[in-house]
Chains A and B, each alone.
Chain A
Amino acid sequence: MSKAGWRSLPIAGIIPKAGSSLEYKTGTWRAFKPVVDEAKCTFCLLCWIYCPDGAIKRLDNKGKISIDYDYCKGCGICASECPVKAISMVEE
């Protein structure tokens, strides 16, 4: 993909439309990915509270969480906070 040059970029580095962060898929930063063991998960949602990127999805399947790998950076906070050790970090 060719990138815009200085003549055509918006002034001062502003992003003139809202919600553009959705286009920035930060999942590519990940070295380890969180994998959920659904048998252990109690749906306590601590992972959802702690996730700094909002990458824990809780509404898709009722009573179960899933992980949005498009945006999860693999920080491992969810795995660290899970009280029943239902999330493990697996090397990509």
Chain B
Amino acid sequence: MRIIGLTGDEAVAYAVKQCDVDVVAAYPITPQTIIVERISDFVANGEINTEYVCVESEHSALSACIGASVMGARVFTATSSQGLALMHEILYIASSLRLPIVMAVVNRALSAPINIHGDHSDMMGSRDCGWIQIYVENAQEAYDTTIQAFKIAESPNVSLPVSVNLDGFIISHSMERVEILDDEDVKIFLPPRKPLYRLDVENPITIGPLCFTDYYFEFKKQQAEAMEKSYKTIMDVMNEYSRVTGRSYKFIDTYGIEDSEILIVCMGSTCGTARYTARRLREKGEKVGVIKVSLYRPFPSEELIEAIKNAEALIVMDRAVSFGASSGPLCSDVKNTLYDAGFKIKILNIIYGLGGRDVSQKDIEQAFRLGFKLKSGDIKDRVLWLGVRE
């Protein structure tokens, strides 16, 4: 184990370097650029044996990844925002073909107006693409999750693509202390990929044939089932990685849930600010806590139900908007989960941080205050845009 200073993007690139990736096909886009720059440095310096494919667009990048993955290769790509949007149709092909591709999505707002800063609208726009989606809180988690993502994706029980989501700039460009595993430990944790099927001229098969009304439906059910069954493998991989590193990885991370009246549910870099703020408020005797959702797809419903059962009101914070819907994407998932479980708890959805608008301790404290008002019935709104100017 070593400790080095890395930005979130550099941490992802370093993880890719240690994972002995066969093919990287990527197109640079802010704020993902540093990931692919560092990987191309590693290739140019002869530090890794990766085939680096320079492509003319993100659509081609993911298409090339699919081609390589079908050949049995370990494959990585990375993108942000408009790049992810341009990949949209190929995202579905990767998951439908059950190809274990790992992609870092450095979350950035979608145009218009054009903006390069962090929010979750890019991945949420492709939420239903059939990829496993994990959100990280800092550079350490970006490094750790990238390594775990390969193991999850390539597990024969899963065989699905995985996106590792890190907040643009806040995580991608902030330098932090990152604990790095020895190359040998990563090799032991992540053995070479054994594909479920592959292109082989000696044993020809057809991949991606036409499939009409008589069979398409069955293949979608297969995919839904694969996602459902992936919970166990994801948990096994997280447990194994936690044992190896001593750093705990779970579907959701909780702080103060045992006695909290008000819980904030959030994802990404905001979780750190929320936990810090909650700690300060708890020191003053206020019963507040935080639930960090790390695994977003498949959604950790069971763990969430267990975590909120003692709370009296929830603040669910969405860094994305679902225009015309009754709440943001995370809040919709939370509400679905709790309704199905028979919970009737007060929930306020907070839309925040769009286009990279900073979220400070004061904002989180205000969110907790709104939670107490919600609990006492002094607030009727179901959705509030935190800090937006009138």
Contacts and interface: CB of A to CB of B under 8 A. Distances in A.
Contact of A17 (B196, B197, B205): B205
A9 B206 contact: no
B222 A9 contact: yes
A13 B205 contact: no
A6 B215 CA distance: 9
Contacts of A20: 206
B339 interface: no
A3 B205 contact: no
Contacts of A9: 215, 218-219, 222
B252 interface: no
Which of A4, A12, A17, A18: most chain B Cβ within 10 A? A12
A74 B110 CA distance: 47
Specify the main secondary structure of chain B where it touches its partner: loop
Given A11-B159, A11-B197, A16 B221 contact: no
A91 to B, nearest CB: 26
A90 interface: no
Interface residues of A, number: 14
Which of A3, A11, A16, A18: most chain B Cβ within 10 A? A11
B196 A13 contact: no
B372 to A, nearest CB: 48
Contacts of A4: 218
Contacts of A3: 214-215
Given A12-B197, A13-B96, A16-B205, A6 B211 contact: no
A12 to B, nearest CB: 4
Interface of B: 96-98, 159, 196-197, 204-209, 211, 214-215, 218-219, 221-222, 225
